[in-house]
Amino acid sequence: MSKNTIKVALIGNPNTGKTSLFNQLTGLNQKVGNYPGVTVDKKQGISKLSATQNAIITDLPGTYSINPTSLDESIVLKTLLKKDIKESPDVILVVADVENLKRNLLLFSQIKDLEIPTVLAINMADQMAKKGISINISLLEKELNTKVVLISARKNEGINELKEALICCHLAAKSSPLCGINYKVDPEYFDELKKISPNYSLYKLWLMVTQNNFPDEITKKEKDKLLAFQQDISKLKKYQHKETIYRYQEINKILNKTYSIDKSKATDLRSKLDKIFTHKIFGYVLFFLILLVIFQSIFDWASYPMDFIDNTFASLSNFAKSNLPNGVLTDLLTEGIIPGIGGVIIFIPQIAILFLFIAVLEETGYMSRVVFLMDKIMRRFGMNGKSVIPLISGTACAIPAIMATRTIASWKERLITILVTPFATCSARLPVYAILIALVIPNKKVLGFLNLQGLVLLLLYALGFLTAILAAYILHKTLKINSKSFFVVEMPNYKVPSFKNVFFEVVEKTKAFVFGAGKIILALSIVLWFLASNGGSDFKNAEKIVVENVANQNLNDDELQQKVASKKLEKSYIGMLGKTIEPVIKPLGYDWKIGIALITSFAAREVFVGTLATIYSVEADDEDTTTIKQKMASEMNPDTGAKRFNFPVGMSLLIFYAFAMQCMATLAIVKRETKSWKWPIIQLFGMGLLAYISSLITYQILS
């Protein structure tokens, strides 16, 4: 790192425009990494402060205080307590909202006591005149002993002054606590605490004690002494309360001198909108309509780019095949890697569109109203109003959805949400549903206007949600986890969404999918390709066997090649695997070929379609679904002489795909988020068992 780069930590309450400021300061120079040892994403970006001075800006998760109550918030504390030269910030930039300055200053006062150089940016300054707010900045600076800058991040105002302030503040280096706040609570007690170590500010020591969070470099002796302070928990709690009240008293004193608001200028747009959005009937109707619009748009808009991606990768594969020399490497490329990457990219449109909507709803402040409306309902099922967002996101992809549960403070509610989210109908199930529905559900109208096929698809979506809710209820009643359920949601002011913020949010979520799931889908595609293109001695002799069998059938070259490919698959390792599980899946109406497709679906469910295409010896690169459909439709069951994909089998498969946990990438994310293999394994077998039993019942009743 060059001398001319300073490290700035960006911190602030949620809904203060912190993200806007971050985007404004860093633009496209952003990257998302990981904090060592924890799963929370670390957003960093580079900002050019002046011609000679750069800054690495770390966007810390929004928080109301440095005493954390959720996973997201604990990261803030961890970062700030660190003494590591590489990680700890040179300057802390606190963002505050001009309308909520009092509450924002609480966090500021805590930060200030860490004795790290701090700059305070008061955001949304453009609203001041409208809201009748006036601030005496120079007096505020004096009282807070801090450089204060008025900005309006969305309008790009005050950003240059802020950059200058960051440089000055960095040069000033040493910072003093706001008012030695803890001494006022109990001087003797805090004197004792202070004596433990000269290496840390008093407030840092106090945080280590109250949050049980110790930096790595602390000595054993110091740690033991600090642990002794933890003995009297009720005293700690009492002092934390006292400390907070004291902080607010100080803040009030300062604001009385420097801040005034003319209440008569307040508009009641918020309360008018709230009356509509949280109305006992319209509130739910509106939410339902919004969901409908979202799903409709996902279907309508995403199909064009998806078809385009599908065709592009198919022709890419074809092109590579016809232009590269024959060999294993070419096969790996054309049958493993290219379709594997295509299988990842194809989901991007749906995921991006869904997160576009979610980002807009969050930016406007509407999402908090949904949480408010849904909390009571979700609580009956052991979840939380905040669980609604993961469940909706789950209809695109469970991976970003499960990561979105991090804001849920109660571990039990969060865990249940994580466990049931994969029941939501994700975009990978859609191609499977589409082809099966086309095969077994007649394309006719019911009640005069409803398309039966569309209706079945809708029912499958409903089935996913209902199962999620039901599973949550069962988990709620059976899981014996004691976790403090505490719930508080801020209801922010309604805002017009900022294009920039929405754009960056969509890019970030899509990246999370591509790099989280993508790696696993791609790796698994390659493994499956290997298993499908290698086998025992029968595999090597496949061509000979076929030629002997069909010697009298007068097939042309193409037909012969298809027969050979099909035989090869049957005799490959994966074919052997399919044959092995055949007895288990036979009661569900499946044969070994479907068995193979079930196994390969673990890469991503939609691989089902491609696998069947290969098995039914459609030319491997031709992903035209009509031909696959025709092949599937004409496939016979040799035992019964009836069609293989008849109504009972089709329904049984639909039910199986609705319930089964066939996604390695999701399992990996659940492992990461719950920090144990226990929960993904429970999920795999629990959902698998449910899928098996339900499909069994479906098939047996229908056939």
Which positions make up the binding site for Mg(2+)?
A: 23, 26-27
* Residue with Cβ nearer other proteins (298 or 373): 373
- CB of 261: closest distance to other proteins in angstroms? 9
Token pair 């030319």 is found at 619
Residues that constitute the known binding site for GTP? 12-19, 37-41, 59-62, 123-126
* Residue with Cβ nearer other proteins (283 or 648): 283
CB 104 within 8 A of CB 148: no
Q: Which letter, b or e, does each residue of 191-224 get, where b requires 16 or more Cβ atoms within 10 Å of its Cβ?
A: eebbebbeebbbbbbbbbbbbeeebeebeeebee
What gap in Å lies between CA 343 and CA 603, rounded to an integer? 9
The contacts of residue 104 (CB under 8 Å, 6+ apart) are 12, 13, 16, 94, 95, 96, 97
- CB of 260: closest distance to other proteins in angstroms? 13
What gap in Å lies between CA 476 and CA 387, rounded to an integer? 14
Backbone torsions φ then ψ of 196, nearest 5 degrees? -60, -45
* Residue with Cβ nearer other proteins (48 or 102): 102
Query: In one letter, which amino acid is 92?
Result: I
* Residue with Cβ nearer other proteins (39 or 493): 493
Residue closest to 56 by CA, chosen among 84, 35, 87 = 87
* Residue with Cβ nearer other proteins (146 or 278): 278
Element spanning 218, H or E? none
- CB of 274: closest distance to other proteins in angstroms? 6
Residue closest to 141 by CA, chosen among 246, 250, 249, 254 = 254
Q: What is the DSSP letter of 572?
A: B
What gap in Å lies between CA 42 and CA 33, rounded to an integer? 5
* Residue with Cβ nearer other proteins (273 or 523): 273
Residue closest to 493 by CA, chosen among 11, 14, 153, 10 = 14
* Residue with Cβ nearer other proteins (106 or 306): 106
Question: In 3-state terms, what secondary structure has residue 603?
Answer: coil
* Residue with Cβ nearer other proteins (238 or 477): 238
- CB of 387: closest distance to other proteins in angstroms? 14
What gap in Å lies between CA 495 and CA 20, rounded to an integer? 13
- CB of 64: closest distance to other proteins in angstroms? 5
Residues that constitute the known binding site? 12-19, 23, 26-27, 37-41, 59-62, 123-126
* Residue with Cβ nearer other proteins (414 or 509): 414
- CB of 385: closest distance to other proteins in angstroms? 8
Where do contacts with other proteins occur on this chain (CB under 8 A)? 64-65, 67, 69, 99-100, 102-103, 106, 237-238, 240-241, 244-245, 248, 270-271, 274-275, 278-281, 283-284, 368, 371-373, 375-377, 385, 486-493
- CB of 394: closest distance to other proteins in angstroms? 23
Measured over the CA atoms of residue 690, residue 691, residue 693 and residue 695, the dihedral's sign is positive
* Tokens standing for residue 644: 């293989």
Measured over the CA atoms of residue 292, residue 294, residue 300 and residue 302, the dihedral's sign is negative
Q: What is the DSSP letter of 334?
A: I
What gap in Å lies between CA 623 and CA 621, rounded to an integer? 6
